[in-house]
Structure 1
């Protein structure tokens, strides 16, 4: 999707051969340095490059800056990657990233997936990576948006993904067990055990095991865990 094509004089921060518009509204401080040093999403990058193959149909839950969708579209030439991102402020930037890298196999939708369609609150903070569906105790009231919730079963049936990439700040504990994972060949999940606890981690592992996918050690590191049907 190329709603925001780069201009000829646009400047970029480059990371792992990918281009990210050098917009201080999104890239500043530590985040900008991590991109330049190829340290941003390092564990997720290693995992994705181990499990994603050319021709895969990837669904990404939690797009962030558009880093992972751009990575797999560029480096693995996937058939498609469709990202769902709850933060409406990030959508234009993600589309700029996709356009800057000349992608025609990557799309992003401002929505989250759930068991039933509806609407949900999403809280946007100055630190874009700390935005979430959770209100923090004692914080100043964040900018809150009502975000579309799409029925996960319908989305999976429509897109027919065979790879899942997921980083949704703890919401994985409720969403993953509710998804139909049987059509997946592989998955990369960033867990948030500090929020979901050991019971939540076990629920996620059990969901993948029930769908016939096994923990894949070569694609896992600390909180980033991978699952594959065969390895």
Structure 2
């Protein structure tokens, strides 16, 4: 469902969540998915599967704030940390959190990499329509963004659930075990940006952390893992 609220904004409703979208921010493909209800559909199903009351959630790549809102409604807003590199999306995300009553979700600006020195920044490519924006892409509009170390973020927030769509940056997150009480991890992988050996490294690292393939949350390039529960847990 779409509702025009001003000459420049529209409101879309998906799964009980209201998403405001400023004119010109998204491309036609995103708008079509918002209209037919398929926008971030796999990610929304992952939240329903993975997030439980009291769980801490780390979301890397917040988009319009839809998935973070769903997660906050299942746990508590203060348990959710969303990270977004695209500065154009930050006010949109905050507004969408607020309009859905989850303004206490923590929102951090920056691009998450395997390791980042204090104060480090990098050039970030802003794609037309905002999806596909990423580190390392050449040409087009470039903005300087803070870099955030993944393992430092994991240690600080200690998430039970990690949800990520970071356009290939995930390749740098699996060099050592994650220091957190991880229960579920769902990510979009990007095989066009790295070789099959990187996908194997991701799967091997998850296995070493006692995580196994989750067929419920996996679909196409969406790869889900869940904790291997011990008997009686």
User: TM-score, length-normalised on structure 1?
Assistant: 0.86
* Structure 2 unaligned residues grouped into runs of 5+: none
For 2:206, the equivalent position in structure 1 comes to 208
For 1:128, the equivalent position in structure 2 comes to 130
Alignment root-mean-square deviation, CA: 2.1
The alignment partner of 1:44 has SS state of helix
1:226 Cα offset (Å)? 1.1
Q: How does 1:83-122 map to 2 (within 5 A)?
A: 83-114=82-113, 115-117=115-117, 118-122=120-124
1:129 Cα offset (Å)? 0.6
Alignment partner of 1:54 is 2:53: yes
- Distance in 1, matches of 2:195 and 2:64, equals 27
Between 181-190 and 167-176, the greater mean CA deviation after superposition? 181-190
- Distance in 1, matches of 2:66 and 2:46, equals 14
The verdict on how the C-alpha distance between 1:90 and 1:178 changes in structure 2, with shifts beyond 3 A counting, is farther
Aligned residue pair count: 219
Contact 1:162 1:184 (C-alpha < 8 Å) held by counterparts: yes
- Distance in 2, matches of 1:18 and 1:170, equals 28
1:48 Cα offset (Å)? 2.4
The alignment partner of 1:122 has SS state of strand
For 2:149, the equivalent position in structure 1 comes to 151
The alignment partner of 2:97 has SS state of helix
Alignment partner of 1:30 is 2:29: yes
User: TM-score, length-normalised on structure 2?
Assistant: 0.85
Superposed CA offset, 1:72-125 (max 9, x none)? 112x13451111111111111111110111114412111122312221110112
The verdict on how the C-alpha distance between 1:179 and 1:104 changes in structure 2, with shifts beyond 3 A counting, is farther
Higher relative contact order, chain-length normalized (CA < 8 Å, sep 6+): 1
* Greater share of helix: 1
